[in-house]
Chains A and B, each alone.
Chain A
Amino acid sequence: MKLPISWLKDFIDLDGLTVEDIARKLTLAGLEVDEILYVGLPMPEYAASGMHSSEKHEFKTNGIAWDKEKIVVAEIREVKAHPNADKLTLLDLFDGQQEQVVLTGAPNIFHLKGAGKLEKPIKVAYAKEGSTLYDGHAEGQVLMTLKRAKIRGVDSYSMVCSEKELGITEESDGIIILDDDAPVGMPLADYIGDAVLDISILPNMARNANVIGIARELAALTGRELKTDNRPQTIDRPLSAVNGQSVNDLVEIEITNSELNPRFVVGLIRNVEIKPSPYQIQRRLKLAGVRAINNIVDATNYAMIELGEPLHAFDYDILKERAGDKKIKIITRTAQDGEELVTLDGVKRKLTAMNVLVCDEKGSLSLAGVMGGSESEVYDASKEVLDAIGVETKPGEMPQGKITSRGKSTVNVLLEGAAWNFINIRRTAKQHNLPSEASFRFSRGVHPALAETGVKRGLQYMAAWANGQIAPGLVDVYPLKPKDSVVDVTPKDVKRLLGIELTLEEISALLTRLEFKCEITNHHLQVTAPPHRMDIDEGVVGLADVLEEVARSYGFDKIPTTTMSDSLPPQKGNPIHEWEERLRDLLVAIGLQEVVTYRMTSPERESRVVTHNEYVRIANPIAPERSVLRQNLLASVLEVAEKNAKAESLAMFEVGSIFEPVKNDLPNEPRKLAMVMTGKRIASAWDVKDSPTFDFYDMKGRIELLLAGLRFTDILYAETESTYALHPGKSAEVKVNGQVVGVFGELHPLAKEKYEFGDAPVIVAEFDLEKLRALNPSYGIVPVSEFPPMYEDIAIILDESVAAATVEALIRQTGGKTVTDVRLFDVYRDEKIGAGKKSLAYSLTYQAEKTLTDAEAAAIRNKIVKRLENVVGAKLRS
């Protein structure tokens, strides 16, 4: 909410506190000040020296200060024609010290041109030569300094100001006309200089979304007195006498659902004269972000911003006409499905059974707590207003034009203050997309006690500004009084939860400042929540609610810093998390870059590599391409690789969840690992030309390292029947301890075509981490022998169809323990060997717990060769 400091000062003495001090206190207590806007008051130096100052300033600061010497209250004594310009006037004006002649083109003074000496001088804001103001003709807010110039032959050196020029509003039409009692000669900054705090209201602080609420907090934080009954000094005029027939004789109220409408209050004011509000009031409303309309509407808004209770003004005579000769009966009820109401913004709204209506016996009048209806709204039929809204007026005839007009301004006002169920209002405002000042407050909870206070205050303002007479009494139907929350607090509770030692008296003093009623009985403090708060519960929750207020009031900064004194739980770690972190480390160690992708994707995007029929679908996606949860991690990593396809060499992985749908229940979220490699094995450089591209075996090598790093030893690679779009001859599944845990290979050429990759093959892998993690790794390190190993190479020729893995297995099996390493170092094919044949060359390592003789090694070797001959038809290559 936007809060002018001048308004705050109606309720609390702020002497000795700067605007920044106030903002800081509020911010630390949970009422965060987002911005300070200066509108006349002197600004702190850092802000005045330009908005882009690098100096520290605690708050975002904006606005303008009014020079006290140069910008003052003045009075126009005569409006004359400009000798050479039809649209300009010359003002004879007195600035408190001397007479001045000022040029203006202001439309709101133009009609007085040539009227001679004014009977009643007009009070204005006058800026002398050299004043700094916003340029009234520029787009946006541009500072300028008043300089002497000749305009059509007349000397111009000063000006009367508009609201835009003074920074009160962003746009304005005409000059400011101050209230008649404005003191001529007074610096304008002293008269109406202000600063506006823009405060974020947290959901639990809704009670503070009003001037008195903020003043109350400040009073508690500073120990100063809160003067809630103050009315603004500037408008403190004698109230018209309360007289006439009591409103109770004229209006009755029926509430049909007290849960939705716990209280409904109306008051009546007669013979109001609709006109603009005093300038001071208009200015405050505008600074608070509310348009000034007329004195009656302004009175409802002013009371709402001041107190927090939204009010609604009805044209009493319209209600009377609708009631005919019967007593006016206000009924609150829920709407019928499909019922319609034209709200005062002119929109016909279709209602549902959830919406609450304020009605009379003829039908609906307003959408409760959200927006009034157009028919019974307060109406201003003055010529200026009708002109402004485009209604044609002819003497003696009903006005014609854009709106159905009533022809006659409202004279008698029935003022409503009510309490509504906040959830219902919230849903209604959302349903009809009607965020208003009223629904903002009602949808966060307004205490029913405020309905009465609000109506009284609204009527007082109407009486003061519109010269009406308040009818005696209020009609007040209050079927559902909220229970006063009572909470028991002890110093022990304060110590146990806040960690500070306070006496009963100290706790009581802190809470009393926030208007809690405190009674000390028998080492307990019985605390009753004040009648503006809906956020204090009872019991153990109420205790937390009250202790929060104790802590805030005491000051978070004064609470000490301590360490926890209770015992630590057993430190047991998180094996799953740690295993995955180890996996990530291994993947990084083998040269892969980790990526993290969106969980939301679309079936179309995943279908480039794999198709699923069912998905976990998002009910409210932000875009069609984020309509489901991913069910394939590889697809996500491939997309990232595609986006980076310009890079010469890519090797990346992601570890994360996929989402498998379970009908109408929470999905399964198994963990997966996906890897993608493409591009050059080694990046080109000044001494690296034509590096080969990543292929199947680059990925396989990394998988071998990865599985070894995870301490798996029983690993098999076999042809795969995976549903992935992989190259049938260049793909494999990976079995660990006999179980398939992953698949890898080259992306199928047809699948690759669906992506924008370069020429290099795209090598992919995906592992099921749930399965992999469940397998037993093997621990234990093989001792390093002290005896020298023997190395020997053998090359064999055999059929193409025999897999290398088969040969290796045979060698190992036959060689037994002594053959400790088998390394394939050459695969060779040529005509001499013969078609359909290949040569495999192995380097064998023999190792025993003694020095092997040549003969012993030869014996093993011969055994191996013989076995290979017998089993796979291998021939030793000479």
Chain B
Amino acid sequence: MLDKLNEIEKAALESLSSINDQTALDAWRIANVGRSSPLMQVFGGFGKLSKEEKPVVGAAANRVKVALESALEERAQAVKNAALAKSLEEEKLDVTLPGREVNIGRLHPSTQQLRRVLSILAEMGFQVYTSREVESDEMNFQMLNFAPHHPAREMQDSFYVEAEGREDNPILMRTHTSPGQIRAMREAVASNPQNPPPIRIALPGMCFRYEQITARSEIQFNQVEGLAVGKGITFADLKGTLTDFVRRMFGQDARVRFRASYFPFTEPSAEMDVECFVCGGKGCQVCKNSGWLEILGCGMVHPNVLQNGGYDPKIYSGFAWGMGPERQLMLRNKITDIRYFWGNDVRFLEQF
């Protein structure tokens, strides 16, 4: 009987070893451990065995049953693994085929840059103030300390709008966002004439100059100005605040310098240079080998401008600065032609 069991085991294991698919496995299971399999018949013939034989044969039959079952399980796992390996192999993709396109929208690069600047200014407490694009000469020039026929007006050639009877106060496309300074100051004064509140604003928007459209000059461009007005604001505060701003903008290690300059609406006035962020100040094409980039104009608000805004220059002081988002983008991205911005070629826009 024991011999028979050994034979059963040997034959079963032998036939199992050549099985490679699930159907054959199922057939093998029925044939070898199924109810009518030779092994089960051994269990079925148990009653005929002698008292001595029973435990010996029983133990042997059980061992064979366990052995066959575990062999089946092992084989089943191997068959499954092989099948999976095969299907994985068959499902292999060409990973170099392009990914599926997703239609997404983008902001215009100027809007993106405006947002970068405005979010830094917001962190510093400067709130957005917007105002109209078509202005009167009074607001665009006179209130900002540009006298009629003043040479400084030549720095800002203007587009005029047709209007009659306004020889003293023609209508023009604003040449800078600075008229907003006057409007904002007047609103603040109106809110509390006895004790005008301090002002911290950022003035973004489109400005216009009479220029030919070339790679280097455009008839319209964005500007962002900052304005701080209050009691005891000094030129040293201007330097501190703008250095802080520029470092948030261009990196905490950015070196800066202030050069004396001239704007009619500030005094003293300065240009602020930042060490070239393309070459780190070593000299490159972007900074024309100077190591410095001119990035903003600034100055202490001129007493006449404070006065025109309703703030007494004997008590209040302040500073203002202005910069161009498109110029910043051009420097940062080595864009050599300003016409790209309003050309709106999607092949340009999609790169931002």
User: Measuring CB to CB, which residues of chain A are less than 8 angstroms from any residue of chain B?
Assistant: 27-30, 32, 53-60, 202-206, 422-423, 426-427, 443-444, 495-500, 540-541, 543-545, 547-548, 551-552, 556-557, 559-574, 576-578, 581, 584, 587-600, 616-622, 626, 629, 640, 643-644, 647, 649-653, 657, 659, 664-667, 669, 682-683, 685-688
Q: 1/0 contact trace for B257-281 toward A, CB 8 Å?
A: 1111110100111100000000001
Q: Which of B152, B228, B239, B344 contacts A559 (CB 8 A)?
A: B239
Q: Given A577-B128, A617-B161, A666 and B111 touching (CB < 8 A)?
A: no
B108, A57: Cβ atoms closer than 8 Å: no
Cα distance, A571 to B121, chains bound together (Å): 12
Q: Given A30-B261, A561-B243, A619 and B100 touching (CB < 8 A)?
A: no
Closest to A568 in B: B125
Number of A-B contacts (CB under 8 A): 281
Q: Which chain B residues lie closer than 8 Å to A562 at the CB level?
A: 234, 236-237, 239-240
A499, B234: Cβ atoms closer than 8 Å: yes
Q: Does B142 contact A (CB under 8 A)?
A: no
Q: Most chain-A Cβ atoms within 10 A of its Cβ — which of B103, B125, B239, B302? A: B103
Closest to B219 in A: A622
A423, B198: Cβ atoms closer than 8 Å: no
- Which residues B144-163 have CB closer than 8 A to chain A? 148-152, 154-155, 159-163
Q: Does B225 contact A (CB under 8 A)?
A: no
3 cross-chain pairs, A with B, having the tightest CB-CB distances, nearest first: A499-B236, A499-B234, A56-B283
B268, A588: Cβ atoms closer than 8 Å: no
Tell which of B6-14, B34-42, B165-173 binds the partner: B165-173
Can you name 4 extra interface pairs (CB under 8 A) apart from A30-B260, A644-B345?
A545-B267, A548-B267, A566-B230, A686-B97
Q: Which of A205, A551, A574, A577 contacts B268 (CB 8 A)?
A: A551
Closest to B282 in A: A56
- Which residues B259-314 have CB closer than 8 A to chain A? 259-262, 264, 267-270, 281-284, 288-292, 300, 302-304, 307, 313-314
A617, B162: Cβ atoms closer than 8 Å: yes
Q: Given A58-B290, A667-B134, A596 and B152 touching (CB < 8 A)?
A: no
Q: Which chain B residues lie closer than 8 Å to A565 at the CB level?
A: 232, 237
Cα distance, A32 to B297, chains bound together (Å): 14
Q: Which chain A residues lie closer than 8 Å to B125 at the CB level?
A: 568, 571
B289, A57: Cβ atoms closer than 8 Å: yes
Closest to B316 in A: A566
- Could you list 29 A-B pairs, sorted by A, with CB under 8 Å? A30-B262, A54-B284, A58-B291, A205-B262, A495-B234, A498-B236, A541-B302, A541-B303, A548-B269, A551-B268, A552-B268, A562-B234, A568-B198, A577-B128, A588-B104, A588-B105, A593-B106, A594-B349, A599-B173, A617-B161, A618-B173, A619-B162, A629-B134, A659-B133, A665-B171, A666-B132, A666-B171, A683-B103, A685-B101
Q: Given A498-B234, A563-B241, A427 and B149 touching (CB < 8 A)?
A: yes
Q: Does B200 contact A (CB under 8 A)?
A: yes
B208, A596: Cβ atoms closer than 8 Å: no
Q: Most chain-B Cβ atoms within 10 A of its Cβ — which of A53, A547, A548, A653? A: A548
Cα distance, A423 to B234, chains bound together (Å): 33
User: Measuring CB to CB, which residues of chain B are less than 8 angstroms from any residue of chain A?
Assistant: 97-98, 100-101, 103-108, 110-111, 115, 125, 127-130, 132-136, 148-152, 154-155, 159-166, 171, 173, 188, 197-200, 206, 208, 210-213, 219-220, 228, 230-237, 239-241, 243-244, 257-262, 264, 267-270, 281-284, 288-292, 300, 302-304, 307, 313-314, 317, 341-346, 349-350
Q: Which of A559, A570, A590, A619 contacts B236 (CB 8 A)?
A: A559
Q: Given A56-B290, A593-B346, A664-B166, A685 and B134 touching (CB < 8 A)?
A: no
Cα distance, A563 to B233, chains bound together (Å): 9
Cα distance, A543 to B101, chains bound together (Å): 64
B210, A591: Cβ atoms closer than 8 Å: no
A28, B259: Cβ atoms closer than 8 Å: yes
Nearest chain A CB to B275 CB, angstrom units: 11
Cα distance, A573 to B202, chains bound together (Å): 11
Nearest chain B CB to A653 CB, angstrom units: 8
Nearest chain B CB to A200 CB, angstrom units: 10
Q: Which chain A residues lie closer than 8 Å to B307 at the CB level?
A: 540
Q: Given A496-B317, A566-B230, A540 and B283 touching (CB < 8 A)?
A: no
Closest to A577 in B: B128
Closest to B188 in A: A569
Nearest chain A CB to B349 CB, angstrom units: 6
Nearest chain B CB to A436 CB, angstrom units: 15
Q: Which chain B residues lie closer than 8 Å to A541 at the CB level?
A: 302-304
Q: Given A566-B233, A574-B128, A589 and B105 touching (CB < 8 A)?
A: yes
A682, B210: Cβ atoms closer than 8 Å: no
Q: Which chain A residues lie closer than 8 Å to B220 at the CB level?
A: 598-600
B259, A666: Cβ atoms closer than 8 Å: no
Q: Which chain A residues lie closer than 8 Å to B291 at the CB level?
A: 56, 58
Cα distance, A764 to B61, chains bound together (Å): 84
Q: Given A497-B235, A618-B160, A666-B135, A54 and B105 touching (CB < 8 A)?
A: no
B111, A584: Cβ atoms closer than 8 Å: yes
Q: Which chain B residues lie closer than 8 Å to A53 at the CB level?
A: 289
Q: Which chain A residues lie closer than 8 Å to B243 at the CB level?
A: 561
Cα distance, A587 to B106, chains bound together (Å): 9
Cα distance, A57 to B269, chains bound together (Å): 26
Q: Which of A54, A657, A685 contacts B289 (CB 8 A)?
A: A54
Nearest chain A CB to B158 CB, angstrom units: 8
B260, A28: Cβ atoms closer than 8 Å: yes
A588, B260: Cβ atoms closer than 8 Å: no
Q: Which chain A residues lie closer than 8 Å to B115 at the CB level?
A: 581
Q: Which chain A residues lie closer than 8 Å to B270 at the CB level?
A: 556
Nearest chain A CB to B22 CB, angstrom units: 33
Q: Which chain A residues lie closer than 8 Å to B98 at the CB level?
A: 685-686
Nearest chain A CB to B229 CB, angstrom units: 9
Q: Which chain A residues lie closer than 8 Å to B110 at the CB level?
A: 596
Q: Most chain-A Cβ atoms within 10 A of its Cβ — which of B108, B111, B270, B281? A: B108
Q: Which chain B residues lie closer than 8 Å to A591 at the CB level?
A: 103-105
Q: Which of B129, B159, B197, B292 contacts A570 (CB 8 A)?
A: B197
Q: Which chain A residues lie closer than 8 Å to B282 at the CB level?
A: 56
A552, B260: Cβ atoms closer than 8 Å: yes
B289, A55: Cβ atoms closer than 8 Å: yes
A574, B344: Cβ atoms closer than 8 Å: no
Cα distance, A455 to B342, chains bound together (Å): 54
B314, A540: Cβ atoms closer than 8 Å: yes
Nearest chain B CB to A220 CB, angstrom units: 12
Q: Which of A28, A551, A593 contacts B235 (CB 8 A)?
A: A551
A597, B107: Cβ atoms closer than 8 Å: no
Q: Which chain A residues lie closer than 8 Å to B129 at the CB level?
A: 574
Cα distance, A568 to B115, chains bound together (Å): 22
B237, A564: Cβ atoms closer than 8 Å: yes
A569, B206: Cβ atoms closer than 8 Å: no
Nearest chain B CB to A385 CB, angstrom units: 36
Cα distance, A557 to B243, chains bound together (Å): 12
Q: Which of A587, A640, A649 contacts B103 (CB 8 A)?
A: A649
Q: Given A566-B198, A629-B134, A60 and B288 touching (CB < 8 A)?
A: yes
